Amino acid sequence: MKNGNLSEELLKNLDLIGDDHVMGSIETPLREDAFALSEEEKIAIIEQHFEKIMLTLGLDLTDDSLSGTPKRVAKLYVKELFKGLDPKNKPSMSTFENKYNYNQMLVEKNITVYSNCEHHFLPIVGKAHVAYIPNGRVIGLSKINRIVDHFSRRPQVQERLALQILNEMKSTLNTEDVAVYIDAEHMCVSSRGVQDQTSSTVTVEYSGKFKEENTKKEFLTYVNDQLK
């Protein structure tokens, strides 16, 4: 798929998918040349294209309120909403020796999730609850929030987001004992299509000891207490 052009076969597949909720893989789908352009080059290109979108919609870009919108949107995409696509923006994940020999569950609750669905580029907003059982190393609490934010800041589906957070925690802490619970509202459900403004989506991923019923129940007790 060169120069960003979609093949007829891919277009046909997209038509078949339609509005269905689909996750292709655990890894965010990126082209091999995803980082060939600098941030400023990407901003300039997106600005040009978004200007065309606004003009196509019939908007008057000579209006003071609209004249700077294409540049603002381009910067928002590259430097904020989708900054998690670029590996250089990944937060450092230093760990520390577990000097206190703490060997029970640690749960970081109520972490803000702000992402965008990759099907309509509309917001996904909710909370994540992340837990792990130390295996010789621990991590600063704010780092857990940063992991969630990093993987949220890219076009996503919620299932992939939960798995990416889980795998990053496992890799960083060298432990299999990790759990991730995400409860989020999808604007592509509430603002378009069915326009259901009361539903939310829950995804849960367990690894290691969290697959055991007692550990799972303990984790969900903490989470459910937060949701009351």
Rounded Cα distance between 154 and 120, Å, is: 13
Check 164, 168, 186, 205 and give the catalytic one. 186
Can you tell me the distance from the alpha carbon of 203 to that of 117, in angstroms, rounded to the nearest whole number?
A: 15
158 is catalytic: yes
Choosing from 129, 156, 168, 188, the catalytic residue is 188
Q: Which of 47, 51, 117, 205 is catalytic?
A: 117
Find out whether 187 and 115 touch, Cβ atoms under 8 Å.
no
Catalytic (active site) residue 117: yes
Q: How far apart are CA 15 and CA 32, in angstroms?
A: 25
The string over 56-75, giving b where at least 16 C-beta atoms fall within 10 Å of a residue's C-beta and e elsewhere, is eeeeeeeeeeeeebbeebbb
Q: Which of 47, 51, 108, 119 is catalytic?
A: 119
Task: State yes or no: is 32 an active-site residue.
Answer: no
Respond yes or no: is residue 118 known to be catalytic: yes
Three-class SS of residue 133?
coil
Give catalytic status of residue 51 as yes or no.
no
Return the sign of the alpha-carbon dihedral for residues 211, 212, 215, 219.
positive
> Which of the residues 51, 108, 118, 205 is marked catalytic?
118
- Assign 14 to helix, strand or coil: helix
The residues annotated as belonging to the active site are: 117-120, 158, 186, 188
